[in-house]
Amino acid sequence: METTLRGVGVSHGVAIGEVRRMGTAVLEPPTGRIPAQDAERERGRARQAVDAVAADLTTRGGLAGGDAQAVLEAQAMMAQDPELMADVERRVAGGVAAARAVYDAFASYRELLAGAGEYLAGRVADLDDVRDRIVARLMGVPMPGLPDSDKPYVLVARDLAPADTALLDPSLVLGFVTEEGGPTSHSAILARALGVPAVVALPDAATLAEGAVIAVDGGTGDVFVDPAEETKERLAAADAERRAAVAGSAGPGSTADGYLVPLLANVGGPADVPAAVEAGAEGVGLFRTEFLFLDDSEHAPSEEKQAEAYRQVLEAFPEGRVVVRVLDAGADKPLSFLTPGDEPNPALGVRGLRSLIGHPEILRTQLAALARAAEGLSVRLEVMAPMVADRADARAFAQACREAGLRAKVGAMVEIPSAALRARSVLREVEFLSLGTNDLAQYTFAADRQVGAVSRFQDPWQPALLDLVALSAEAARDGGGSCGVCGEAAADPLLACVLTGLGVTSLSMGSASIPYVRAALARYTLAQCERAAAAARAADSAEEARAAARAVLSGE
> CA 507 from chain center: how many Å?
16
d(CA 417, CA 429): 18
**How many C-beta atoms lie closer than 10 Å to residue 456's C-beta?**
17
Query: By 3-state DSSP, what share of the chain in percent is helix, strand and coil, each rounded to 5?
Result: 50, 15, 35
Please name the residues in contact with 459: beta carbons below 8 A apart, sequence gap of 6 or more.
8, 183, 441, 542
> How far apart, in whole angstroms, are the C-alpha atoms of residue 505 and residue 507?
7
299 catalytic residue (yes or no): no
The active-site residue out of 186, 401, 483, 497 is 186
Distance, CA of 419 to CA of 399 (rounded, Å)? 18
Per-residue pLDDT of the chain (556 residues; tens, 9 = 90+): 899 998 888 888 899 999 998 876 657 888 878 898 988 999 999 999 999 988 888 887 777 776 677 778 878 888 888 888 899 999 999 999 999 999 999 888 776 655 443 334 456 667 788 888 899 889 887 776 778 788 999 999 888 877 777 767 888 999 999 988 776 666 777 787 777 899 988 988 989 999 999 999 998 889 999 999 999 999 999 888 888 877 777 889 999 999 999 999 999 889 889 989 999 999 999 999 988 887 666 778 999 999 999 999 999 999 899 999 999 876 556 666 666 666 667 678 788 899 899 899 999 999 999 999 999 999 999 999 999 999 999 999 999 999 999 989 999 999 999 999 999 999 999 999 999 998 999 999 998 765 656 767 878 999 999 999 999 999 999 999 999 999 878 988 999 999 999 999 999 998 888 998 999 999 999 999 999 999 999 999 998 999 999 999 988 6
| pLDDT score, position 307 | 96
Other beta carbons within 10 angstroms of residue 459's beta carbon come to 24
Residue 178 bridge partners (DSSP): 157
The 3-class secondary structure across 242-303, one letter per residue, is HHHHHHCCCCCCECCCCCECCEEEEECCHHHHHHHHHCCCCEEEEEECHHHHCCCCCCCCCH
Spatial distance between the Cα atoms of 125 and 302, rounded to a whole number of angstroms: 33
Residue type (1 letter), 342: D
Task: Classify residue 402 as exposed, middle or buried by CB count within 10 Å of its CB (0-12, 13-18, 19+).
Answer: exposed
pLDDT tens-digit map of 372-409? 999 999 999 999 999 999 999 999 999 999 999 998 99
Active-site annotation holds for 186: yes
Residue closest to 372 by CA, chosen among 437, 281, 307, 439: 307
Nearest to 418 by CA among 461, 445, 389, 459: 389
Would residue 499 be called left, alpha or beta, if left means φ above 0 and alpha means ψ between -120 and 50 degrees? Answer: alpha
Catalytic residue among 12, 359, 401, 486: 486
State CA 314 to chain mean position distance.
22
Residue 185, amino acid: S
Cα-to-chain-centroid distance, residue 219:
17
d(CA 549, CA 530): 10
- Sequence letter at residue 326: V
Q: 378 near 413, Cβ under 8 Å?
A: no
Q: What is the pLDDT of residue 150?
A: 81
DSSP 300: P
> What's the order of all strands across the beta sheet hosting 198-200?
3-6, 222-225, 213-217, 14-21, 153-157, 173-178, 198-200, 8-11
- Residue 118's pLDDT is 39
The answer to whether the beta carbons of residues 195 and 175 sit under 8 Å apart is no
Segments in 281-352 forming alpha helices (H)? 290-293, 303-315
Cα–Cα dist 349/185, whole Å: 22
